Structures are given as structure tokens and as C-alpha cells.
């Protein structure tokens, strides 16, 4: 079982129990007095199971920095159950450990191979600060041949912080996009008509101003 108190990825060790608490610098961590902090028996911690790993984390800090856990811990059914454990399905434990390092320590060390997985989980858990920090790396990797698939991916995973910049890239490189991946234009309109309509409205407003 993993007790997070250091900026390292989660391990499989059941004896890795650090005594130090979180040292988050943005605002005040109030322990058991924080929103959603008290579980069964007044415990200030929550066990989050991800794959074959278990992370013991502070409820108050999760509620403060993670929209998903804030909603979960404050929901009537969960609060009344007195549960001290929750399972996070379809998530990679190493990626979740990296997000916890950010939640606790504001440290975000993400290898290229886990960039999209980290963004997807951050979108799912409603941690927009992660998307903001990793956004430059996503934009740097964009090309005319990939921008439509990049937009569709961001749209599918609730990554609203990425959409405006990806959309602007598409609009400013429209001719190159049409030349590099003309078939993907059909994908855009068929798979995300709302996003396509938003892009067309933005282009129309720009044309009127011009």
C-alpha cells in the first residue's frame, strides 16, 4: 500500500509508509476539517485502488485539488456510506501516481510515452492545471497531418483547456491541413459535429472582422 508523502511514482511495496504529510504550497491544507475529509471513524485519509496498487491519500487535499474526488467525497451516497476506499477503474497506476505527485507537490514529470495517458486521466479527474502545464508539449507536437485527430482526441477526453489552441492551429493552417489530410475533414464533421460547427463559427467571425 502506498502512502504518498514524497514526489516519487507509486511503488508496489506494502511497507512504504512515510510519516510526513503533504506539503502543498497553494493555499492551506486543513486535514480533517477540509471538504469531504472525514471518512469512517473520522479518518482523514482515503484508499484509492488503481490496478494492482493502493494509494492512501488525504481526503481534504484530494477534494481541494481534484474536481472528481471533490464531487465524489461530497456526494450524499458516498458520504453516508462512510467508505474509506474507492476503486479507480481503467486507469494506469503509474500515471495516477504522477498526478498525485502534482496534487501533493506541484511536480509533474511526464515522459513522452505517457503524455496522452496523463492528460486523459487529468481530464477524467477534473484537474485542469495539469492540462495547462502539459499543453505546450501537445501543441509543439501538432502538424497539419495530425491536428484533426489531435482535436478529436482532446474533445473525446474532456480536455477543454486544449481545444481553443488546437482550433486556432487548425484555422491558421487550414490550407496545409486540407493538403496533408483531406480525408480527416470528413472525420471532423462526422465524429464531432459540434466541434466542427464551433470552428466554422470562429472562422466566420474572423472573416467578418477582416
| pTM for the predicted model, two decimal places | 0.77
**Range name among 27-31, 99-103, 147-151 with the lowest pLDDT average:** 27-31
Weakest mean pLDDT among 1-5, 59-63, 99-103: 1-5
Residue 151 has pLDDT above 80, yes or no: yes
Task: For cell 494509494, name the residue.
Answer: 55
Tell me the Ramachandran region of residue 6: left when phi exceeds 0, alpha when psi lies from -120 to 50, beta otherwise.
beta
List C-alpha distances in Å: 111 to 90, 98, 103. 20, 10, 18
Instruction: For residue 73, give the CATH number of its domain.
Output: 3.30.710.10
Range of the structural domain that residue 77 is part of: 1-109
Q: What is the pLDDT of residue 14?
A: 29
Is 160 within a domain? no
Q: Average the pLDDT over 107-118 and give the result.
A: 96
Domain for residue 180, yes or no?
no
Residue 79 lies in a domain: yes
φ and ψ at 69, to 5 degrees? Answer: -70, -30
Would you say residue 43 lies in a domain? yes
φ/ψ bin of 40: left (φ > 0), alpha (ψ from -120 to 50), beta (otherwise): beta
- Residue 20 C-alpha cell reads as 510526513
pLDDT at position 110: 96
Least confident of 26-30, 46-50, 56-60, 183-187: 26-30
Q: Domain for residue 61, yes or no?
A: yes
Query: E-strand spans in the chain?
Result: 2-3, 45-50, 53-58, 85-87
Number of domains in the chain: 1
CA–CA dist 148, 181 (Å, integer): 9
Is the pLDDT at 12 greater than 50? The verdict is no
Kindly state whether residue 103 falls inside one of the protein's structural domains.
yes
d(C-alpha 171, C-alpha 21), whole Å: 47
49 within domain boundaries:
yes
Give dist(CA 91, CA 187) in Å, integer: 27
- Judge whether 36 lies within some domain: yes
Amino acid at each position: 500500500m502506498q502512502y504518498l508523502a514524497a514526489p516519487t511514482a507509486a511503488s508496489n511495496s506494502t511497507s512504504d509508509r512515510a510519516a510526513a504529510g503533504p506539503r502543498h504550497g497553494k493555499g492551506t491544507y486543513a486535514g480533517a476539517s477540509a471538504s469531504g475529509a472525514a471518512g469512517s471513524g473520522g479518518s482523514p485519509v482515503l484508499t484509492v485502488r488503481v490496478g494492482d496498487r493502493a494509494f492512501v491519500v488525504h481526503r481534504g487535499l484530494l477534494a481541494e485539488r481534484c474536481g472528481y474526488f471533490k464531487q465524489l467525497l461530497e456526494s450524499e451516497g458516498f458520504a453516508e456510506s462512510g467508505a474509506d476506499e474507492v476503486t479507480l477503474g481503467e486507469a494506469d497506476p503509474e500515471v495516477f501516481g504522477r498526478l498525485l505527485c502534482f496534487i501533493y507537490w506541484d511536480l509533474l514529470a511526464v515522459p513522452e510515452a505517457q503524455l496522452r495517458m496523463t492528460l486523459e486521466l487529468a481530464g477524467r479527474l477534473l484537474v485542469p492545471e495539469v492540462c495547462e502545464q502539459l499543453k505546450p508539449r501537445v501543441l509543439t507536437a501538432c502538424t497539419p497531418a495530425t491536428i484533426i485527430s489531435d482535436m478529436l482526441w482532446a474533445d473525446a477526453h474532456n480536455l477543454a483547456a486544449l481545444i481553443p489552441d488546437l482550433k486556432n492551429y487548425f484555422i491558421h493552417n487550414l490550407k496545409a491541413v486540407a493538403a496533408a489530410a483531406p480525408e480527416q475533414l470528413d472525420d471532423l464533421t462526422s465524429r464531432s459535429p459540434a466541434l466542427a460547427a464551433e470552428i466554422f463559427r470562429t472562422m466566420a467571425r474572423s472573416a467578418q472582422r477582416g
